[in-house]
């Protein structure tokens, strides 16, 4: 369940699915992050390589992945790559983030959202509630149908 | 045939509910058209020239009698009593109302059908060989693999906003009836030296404005790695495919620009990583799916001879019936190409009849082919005559499979908002000019394919004779191309020269076929003669 | 002249702007939007009286307004290969 739908107070995220304290630092660019050893939050543009961050995961508490247009799907791969590498901090989708994209974003590992235009809370809840099952395993820990069918409970 | 379990059904039902909610929000004005468009497209709903158009998925082209009957019902209940079978083995309805769209999907879900991802920049319906499971030459039935890929690609969260559409084809024989190498990923199932079945991967083919033949990326991917390898192919594309220019966004451009070797290197690197994530389903899943595709209970006593004493039946039999792996059975193609008709269109009544015939004669199964025909894959030879009589009565027995009359045509300017020119009236004129059965037969295998614009939905690049509609100062004009093929001898057609008017192009085709008849050597098809003698003599005949 | 067309949001029907807030299924009802074309489209789209609206160059003929582009003439007439489904079989498809 979402922690809060309030804007402000949760470090710019309108929607946050984490219990820990939001990172208070501003997110800096990847270039700046490489040079600033005390920075803990970074902003990844859609054309940037998420793998550049892998060597620095231990000092990251927030990665903001920017979606310049909701049709630009590079951020979904970036998110999975970070989660697959074990990143456990906050992963935020920012920019052109719409109700009907939230579920797939959650499946790729995003756990907070900072949409350009505030989302309708009820619509998000509804959009997240339609599906009981998934075919393919991702990083969200949901047991895929392929596993359920064969008696397992985890993929 | 594959049958849904509670999970498959639940997923499809969920999609119907989700799309109903989305349609309601659009109608209520809670979403703009720009926001709604990608959502409706992922459910197969386009806004076309005259109305909304719905494209319903027919996974790997296989459907049951009940499913075919439902297609007829949809045509009657929500459309105007007909549908159009497409080169991607799907069906399109041209007169759909947005207010009905969710109800249609709901009706479809009762027979395990849907329109999920039949459009949009996502992984589309998986296509396959229409003779799958019936042909003697295949390494295995490709459809269990296609079904596994269908499940994997359905609602895939990472690959729903790709740079561009993504089309996958799976076949399992050296004869290519599905234009496999003209897909974003073309897979051929092969056996390795140890006798295990695996997938040979070709990546980066496609038609559209820059046609390309997919290069070989990997010789053998085992069943245990199939999903991981696909994830790797797609992830490299999702990350690095061009997004700055819609016309350069297909994976073929990426593979072409960085080179097949470099693309392969990146995929292998990604695959090595993904393989550690344990994403592949248990082997038991492919086995579970495969059981649904076990051969039907063939009649061991059935005669292997066909009585060909009726000469009209014989003509149809010689042209439209192919060999089956069981000597007492045959594969029958129902041509949706009557002289002067609309290629690929079928009326609701015809669909009902085909559903009945599938039930009665073909273990309740039919197939849609990329050349817009319907196949009954398992017909007892002893039943062929009765089948033909019923088809003939309903206007479904043109004996023209793979002949010039069996042409592919996209909807063109009669239905499509992207078109430059009409395709269908031209198809009608050509089929009338070459209506004579004797003459068609004399010309032999001749694959003619018409697209109404450069998007190439009608496969004109892959036609022995291709026709491309262009806009010449507001007037419809047609370019002629020769020498393409979507089969195992895959090649891309070349433009002959300046374009023609509608009547001009029909005359030009006749000149070209006359030249072929004069020049051909023993056993040569039109395309073989073209390949041997080259474009020059044809140019001479057309423009000289 | 400039006429406006688009589709009905719910039914998908091809419609033509007939002045004010009115839209018609018949090209013959279309009226010149002139300078106001963009403003009308914006307003009508926001009110969901039209979907995917756009403006079309046309000329006044004895049959009424006639779009210059063949695509819009096909839209006004219906598929030329299915006269039984046509809205108006009198629209000349080929260039006049
Ligand atoms: C009427 C609505 C249709 C629209 C708007 C449409 C649109 C398009 C577009 C834009 C492309 C080019 C994609 C690209 O190169 O990136 C394309 C390709 C294609 N379409 Fe369609 N199409 C329509 C109908 C059809 C039909 C009826 C068929 C089958 C007869 C079809 C089959 C295909 C195929 C096979 C391709 C080529 C795929 C490739 O480039 O690899 N489409 N379509
Ligand atoms: S080839 Fe062009 S005209 Fe034909 S259906 Fe495709 S987009 Fe439309």
Mean pLDDT of chain A: 90
Residue A2: which pLDDT band, with cuts at 50, 70 and 90?
very low
What is the residue-wise DSSP string for C13-63? -EEEE-STT-EES-GGG----GGGHHHHHHHHHHTTSSEEEEEEEEEEETT
pTM greater than 0.90: yes
Domain boundaries, chain B: 6-109, 134-290, 311-393, 408-543
Residue with tokens 């017909």, as numbered in its chain? B379
Chain B closest CA to C85's CA: distance in Å?
Answer: 8
Would you state the pLDDT for residue A10?
A: 43
- Whats the size of chain B, residue-wise? 544
Chain A closest CA to B69's CA: distance in Å?
Answer: 28
Residue with tokens 């054309």, as numbered in its chain? A47
Residues of chain B positioned with their CB less than 8 A from the CB of C10: 27, 97-99
Q: Tell whether C94 is covered by a domain.
A: no
What is the residue-wise DSSP string for A86-107? T--SEEEEEES--GGGHHHHHH
The secondary element (H helix, E strand) that includes residue B274 is: helix B260-274
CA atoms lying within 13 Å on the CB side of residue B235: 24
Domain hosting residue C35, numbered range:
2-85
The full set of domains in chain A, from first to last, is 3-150 (3.40.50)
Interface check B503 vs C, CB under 8 A: no
CA B93 to ligand 2 center in whole angstroms: 15
pLDDT at A142 exceeding the cut of 80: yes
CA B410 to ligand 2 center in whole angstroms: 6
Regions of chain B where pLDDT drops below 70 = none
Q: Tell whether C60 is covered by a domain.
A: yes
Atom of ligand 1 nearest to the CA of B372: 30
In a mutational test of the A interface, the residue from B158, B228, B249, B285 whose CB has the highest number of chain A CBs within 10 Å is: B158
Contact C7 B51 (CB under 8 A): yes
Residue A12: which pLDDT band, with cuts at 50, 70 and 90?
confident
Chain B residue closest to A120 (CA)? B30
B6-109: CATH number: 3.90.480.20
What is the residue-wise DSSP string for B445-487? S--EEEESSTT-TT-GGG-SEEEEEEEETTEEEEEEEE--BSS
Chain C residue closest to B47 (CA)? C12
Task: State the average pLDDT over residues A103-123.
Answer: 95
Q: B311-393, what's its fold?
A: Alpha-Beta Plaits (3.30.70)
In sign, the C-alpha dihedral spanning B312, B318, B322, B326 is: positive
Pocket residue to mutate for ligand 2, from B417, B455, B466, most atoms within 8 A of Cβ: B455
Query: What's the structural domain count of chain C?
Result: 1
* Domain B311-393 shares a fold with domain B408-543: no
Atom of ligand 1 nearest to the CA of B249: 16
Gap between the Cα atoms of B86 and B55, Å rounded: 9
Across B163-196, b (16+ Cβ under 10 Å) vs e yields bbbbbbbbbbbeebbbbbbbbbbbbbbbeeeeee
Supply the angle between the helices A121-129 and B6-27 in degrees, to the nearest 10: 160
Residues of chain A positioned with their CB less than 8 A from the CB of B161: 70-73, 76, 101
CA B505 to ligand 1 center in whole angstroms: 23
The burial class, CB within 10 Å (0-12 / 13-18 / 19+), for A69 is exposed
**Percent of chain B whose pLDDT exceeds 90:** 98
Would you state the pLDDT for residue A154?
A: 46
Gap between the Cα atoms of C30 and C33, Å rounded: 9
Pocket residue to mutate for ligand 2, from B342, B411, B459, B468, most atoms within 8 A of Cβ: B411
In sign, the C-alpha dihedral spanning B53, B58, B63, B67 is: negative
B408-543: CATH number: 3.30.413.10
Q: Tell whether C71 is covered by a domain.
A: yes
pLDDT at A4 exceeding the cut of 50: no
Atom of ligand 1 nearest to the CA of B408: 30
| CATH classification for the domain delimited by B134-290, as one of 3.40.630.30, 3.40.50.10800, 3.30.413.10, 3.40.220.10 | 3.30.413.10
Residue A85: which pLDDT band, with cuts at 50, 70 and 90?
very high
pLDDT tens figures, A17-74: 999 999 988 999 999 999 988 899 999 999 999 999 999 999 999 999 999 999 999 9
Q: Which ligand is nearest to the CA of B92?
A: 1
Q: Tell whether C93 is covered by a domain.
A: no
Neighbouring residues of A31: CB distance < 8 A, sequence distance ≥ 6: none
Structure tokens at B484: 């393409």
pLDDT at A3 exceeding the cut of 80: no
pLDDT at C38 exceeding the cut of 60: yes
Residue A11: which pLDDT band, with cuts at 50, 70 and 90?
low
Check: complex ipTM more than 0.90: yes
- Please answer whether residues B448 and B489 qualify as being in contact, where contact means their C-beta atoms are separated by less than 8 angstroms: no
Would you state the pLDDT for residue A144?
A: 96
- Please answer whether residues B237 and B248 qualify as being in contact, where contact means their C-beta atoms are separated by less than 8 angstroms: no
Residue A1: which pLDDT band, with cuts at 50, 70 and 90?
very low
Contact C81 B424 (CB under 8 A): yes
């Amino acid at each position: 369940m979402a922690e809060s739908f309030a804007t402000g107070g949760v470090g710019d995220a309108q929607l946050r699915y984490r219990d820990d304290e939001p990172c208070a630092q501003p997110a800096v660019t990847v270039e700046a992050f490489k040079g600033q050893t005390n920075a803990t939050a970074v902003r990844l543009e859609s054309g940037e390589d998420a793998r550049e961050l892998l060597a620095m995961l231990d000092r990251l508490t927030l990665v903001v992945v920017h979606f310049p247009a909701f049709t630009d799907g590079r951020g979904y791969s970036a998110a999975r790559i970070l989660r697959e590498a074990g990143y456990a901090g906050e992963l935020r989708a920012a920019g052109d983030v719409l109700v009907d994209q939230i579920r797939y974003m959650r499946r790729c590992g995003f756990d907070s959202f900072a949409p350009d235009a505030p989302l309708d809370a009820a619509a998000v809840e509804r959009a997240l509630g339609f599906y009981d099952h998934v075919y393919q395993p991702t990083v969200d820990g949901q047991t895929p149908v392929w596993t359920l069918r064969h008696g397992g409970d985890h993929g | 045939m594959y049958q849904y379990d509670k999970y498959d059904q639940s997923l499809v039902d969920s999609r119907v509910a989700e799309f109903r909610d989305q349609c309601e929000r659009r109608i209520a004005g809670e979403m703009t058209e720009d926001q709604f468009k990608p959502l409706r497209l992922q459910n197969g709903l386009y806004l076309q020239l005259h109305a909304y158009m719905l494209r319903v998925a027919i996974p790997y082209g296989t459907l049951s009698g009940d499913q075919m009957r439902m297609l007829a019902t949809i045509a009657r209940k929500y459309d105007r009593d007909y549908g159009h079978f497409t080169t991607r083995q799907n069906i399109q309805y041209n007169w759909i109302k947005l207010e009905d769209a969710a109800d249609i999907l709901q009706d479809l879900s009762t027979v395990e059908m849907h329109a999920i991802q039949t459009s949009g920049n996502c992984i589309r319906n998986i296509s396959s060989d229409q003779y799958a499971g019936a042909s003697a030459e295949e390494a295995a039935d490709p459809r269990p693999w296609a079904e596994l890929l269908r499940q994997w690609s359905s609602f895939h969260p990472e690959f729903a906003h790709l740079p561009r559409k993504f089309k996958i084809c799976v076949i399992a024989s050296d004869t290519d009836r599905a234009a496999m190498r003209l897909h974003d990923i073309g897979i051929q199932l092969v056996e390795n030296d140890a006798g295990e079945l695996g997938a040979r991967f070709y990546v980066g083919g496609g038609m559209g404005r820059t046609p390309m033949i997919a290069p070989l990326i990997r010789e053998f991917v085992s069943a245990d790695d199939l999903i991981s390898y696909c994830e790797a192919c797609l992830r490299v594309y999702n990350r690095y495919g061009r997004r700055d220019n819609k016309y350069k966004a297909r994976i073929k451009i990426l593979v072409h620009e960085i080179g097949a070797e470099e693309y392969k290197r990146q995929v292998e690197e990604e695959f090595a990583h993904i393989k550690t994530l344990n994403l592949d389903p248990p082997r038991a899943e492919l086995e579970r799916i495969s059981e649904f595709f076990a051969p039907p209970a063939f009649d061991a006593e059935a005669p292997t001879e066909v009585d060909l004493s009726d000469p009209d039946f014989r003509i149809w039999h010689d042209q439209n019936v192919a060999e089956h792996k069981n000597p007492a059975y045959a594969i029958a193609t129902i041509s949706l190409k009557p002289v002067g008709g609309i290629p690929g269109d079928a009326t609701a009544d015809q669909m009902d009849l085909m559903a009945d015939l599938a039930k009665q004669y073909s273990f309740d199964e039919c197939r849609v082919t990329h050349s817009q025909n319907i196949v009954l894959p398992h017909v007892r030879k002893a039943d062929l005559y009765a089948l033909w009589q019923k088809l003939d009565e309903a206007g479904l027995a043109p004996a023209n499979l793979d002949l010039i009359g069996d042409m592919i045509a996209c909807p063109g300017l009669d239905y499509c908002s992207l078109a430059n020119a009409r395709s269908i009236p031209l198809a009608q004129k050509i089929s009338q000019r070459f209506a004579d059965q004797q003459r068609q037969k004399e010309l032999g295998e001749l694959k003619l394919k018409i697209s109404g614009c450069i998007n190439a939905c009608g496969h004109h690049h892959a036609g022995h004779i291709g026709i491309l509609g262009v806009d010449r100062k507001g007037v419809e004009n047609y370019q002629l191309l020769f020498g393409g093929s979507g089969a195992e001898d895959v090649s891309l057609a070349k433009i002959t020269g300046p374009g023609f008017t509608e009547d001009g192009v029909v005359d030009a085709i006749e000149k070209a076929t006359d030249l072929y008849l004069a020049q051909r050597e023993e056993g040569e098809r039109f395309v073989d003669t073209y390949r041997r003698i080259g474009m020059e003599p044809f140019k001479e005949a057309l423009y000289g | 002249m400039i006429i406006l067309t688009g589709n009905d949001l719910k039914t998908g029907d091809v419609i033509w702007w007939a002045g004010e807030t009115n839209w018609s299924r018949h090209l013959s009802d279309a009226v010149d939007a002139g300078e106001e074309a963009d403003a009308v489209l914006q307003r009508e789209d926001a009110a969901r009286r039209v979907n995917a609206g756009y403006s079309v160059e046309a000329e006044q003929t004895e049959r009424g307004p006639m779009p210059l582009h063949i695509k819009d003439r096909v839209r006004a007439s219906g598929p030329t290969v299915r006269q039984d489904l046509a809205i108006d079989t009198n629209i000349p498809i080929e260039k006049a």
